[in-house]
Structure 1
Amino acid sequence: MLSLFRCPVCGGALDREERRYVCPSGHGFDLAKEGYVNLLPANRMHSKTPGDDKEMAAARTRFLDGGWYGPLRDTLCQLIGGWPGEAPALLDAGCGEGYYTAALAGAAAAKGGRAAGIDLSKPSVKKAAKRCGGAEFAVASVYHLPVADRAVDLLVNCFSPLAAEEFGRVLRPGGLFLYVVPGPRHLWELKEALYDTLYENPEKEEAYPGFRYVDIVPVETVFTLPGPGEIRDLFHMTPYYWKTPKTGMARLEELDRLTVRAQFRCHVLERV
């Protein structure tokens, strides 16, 4: 089966065999037992274990499986379903543990298409591949996508690093780029527990070369986390986990429930 992925060594087409991917030049990449492939060259690894670690991937899996971010997932699927083309090739760039990818793959399949996801974190990609057997998954960087030029119709980037030039390279003209960022008061109540001084996230519309804006779709939801475990999981999957003072973490540990507003902005851009 011809893969959406390309060889990270020579850029040649990859054919997916039963247990590995192989290109015409003979470069081969073994499939892990979970069903993903590692396409991250050693010279592009900036650490021994890049990306989110096993503990963070597990926290994100538990939290997202609780359905708290379901409205965002559903909105993304609606946007994919509304794309006028047929048989789309969809790429989730920064797929994490595959919560959104699984739903997006279903939306693409409903239009006769296929899906793939990449992430820098091997623990996350392992979970994604086990969650969503109908899509391809690879360990790779969004800054060096193992994908051919103009091979993708729909590209999703949800709370992951932005590589606009690389995304423009792999998207076909007329293809959509769905870029999800936090709204001004995303997780404000969590931040109130962690910090003494709070700042809203900026709202802005960037001009990305090669793209035109179609829309900015707001998504908001309020939910109550019923216990310390759910609160810790949310905290652990946010950037705040790495930059919160001990006093803020202590305040968070004292909470036994927390009502939170999640506020997203889905930027919809078309490749021109």
Structure 2
Amino acid sequence: MVAARRRYLESGVYEPIAAGVWQALMDGLEGEAPYACLDAGCGEGYYPRYLRQQDKEGQLALIGLDISKWAAMAAARSSPDIRWLVGSNAQLPVPDGSLDALLCMFGFAVPEEFLRALKSGGIWVQVEAGSDHLLELRRIIYPTLKADKDVAQEPAAGFSLEACERIRCEISLTSQAQIADLLLMTPHLFRASAQGLEQARQLTSLDVQVDVLVKVLRRL
């Protein structure tokens, strides 16, 4: 899974999402740099690495956290200038009120723990799938699609919703291997029907929609 995630993300297909996160941070961070920024559920580190590349002035003190030691080890080998930790979003290994920003990229959000770890006025950037995200692939691998989630949810206690940007674009997956990597790095591999997975394995290319929400929540 770690290797599949690296191959897929390093191909650049999700760069519009990474760029949206960078912009959300630059628009939302307050006070003086450096800013302590933790990616909760960083995987093999694509998004922290992207942020480091954009951060020409050294404004961000980046931390990547993942529950998988294999993911954290892969990230550490690729970018030793970023601090990488093994741990759970349910119990972040950082002191109370120590973070200026916290990212959660398609991951397991724990609002109470995020509230504890963020400074007053700090921001939580939550990235989640929109209703059309990977729609073309989901139509192939599932017999039926679930109803759309309610995207207009109230912010968690202790936070205010400051911004919500929807990023939409179309990407082209150009090989069976790339489609397989996408499936392997997501829960879809374990939820899809056997017939749907077999159909996906026959594909050699596929155009799919990217549809994500980038929410910025500020700690009160």
TM-score, structure 2 length as denominator?
0.94
Counterpart residue identity of residue 14, structure 2: Y
2:195 to 247, 253, 256: 247
User: 1:125 matched to which residue of 2?
Assistant: 72
* 1:151 and 2:98 aligned: yes
Conservation of the 8 A alpha-carbon contact between 1:95 and 1:101: yes
Corresponding residue for residue 46 of structure 2: 99
1:154 Cα deviation from its structure 2 partner: 0.7
**Contact 1:81–1:111 at 8 Å: present in 2 too?**
no
Q: Tell me the distance in 2 between the aligned counterparts of 1:200 and 1:188.
A: 12
Same amino acid, percent of matched pairs: 33
1:84 aligns to what?
30
For structure 1, the residue ranges without an aligned partner over 5 or more in a row are 1-55
1:90–1:105 Cα contact (<8 Å) kept: no
Separation (CA, whole Å) in 2 of partners of 1:112 and 1:217: 23
Question: Relative contact order, CA 8 A, sep 6+: which one is greater?
Answer: 2
2:168 match? 220
* Structure-1 residue corresponding to 2:180: 232
What is residue 164 of structure 1 aligned with on the other side?
A: 111
Query: What is the aligned partner in structure 2 of residue 60 from structure 1?
Result: 5
Provide runs of 4+ in structure 1 moved above 4 Å.
106-109
C-alpha separation in 1, matches of 2:41 and 2:202:
33
Instruction: Name 2:62's counterpart in structure 1.
Output: 115
Q: What's the counterpart of residue 18 of structure 2?
A: 73
Aligned partners of 2:71, 2:174: CA distance in 1, in Å?
Answer: 25
Which structure 2 residue ranges, 5 or more long, are not aligned? none
Q: Distance in 2 between matches of 1:181 and 1:68?
A: 16
- Give the Cα separation in 2 of the matches to 1:88 and 1:175: 10
Q: Aligned partners of 1:128, 1:200: CA distance in 2, in Å? A: 36
- Letter of the aligned partner of 1:57 in structure 2? V
Whole-angstrom distance in 2 between the partners of 1:244 and 1:250: 10
SS at match of 1:61: helix
Of the structure 1 ranges 86-95 and 147-156, higher mean CA displacement relative to structure 2 is found in 86-95
The answer (yes or no) to whether the contact 2:36–2:60 under 8 Å persists in 1 is yes
SS at match of 1:235: helix
CA contact (8 A) 1:182 1:201 kept: no
- Contact kept, 8 Å, 2:143 with 2:193, in 1: the verdict is no
Equivalent residue, structure 2, for 1:3: none
Structure 1, residues 145-195: CA drift from partner, whole Å, max 9, x if none?
110000000100001101110000010011110001100111000111112
* Residue identity in the other structure for 2:43: G
Other structure's SS at 1:110 match = coil
Residue in structure 1 matched with residue 208 of structure 2 by the alignment: 260
Counterpart residue number, 2:129: 182
Contact 1:142/1:163 (8 A) holds in 2: yes
- Rounded to whole Å, the distance in 2 between the matches of 1:172 and 1:108 is 21
CA distance in 1, matches of 2:71, 2:148: 26
Aligned mates of 1:91, 1:109 — CA distance in 2: 18
Report the equivalent of 1:195: 142
* Kept in 2: contact 1:60–1:97 (CA 8 A): yes
TM (norm. structure 1) is 0.76
Please say if residues 87 and 108 of structure 1, whose CA atoms lie closer than 8 Å, have aligned partners that are also in contact.
no
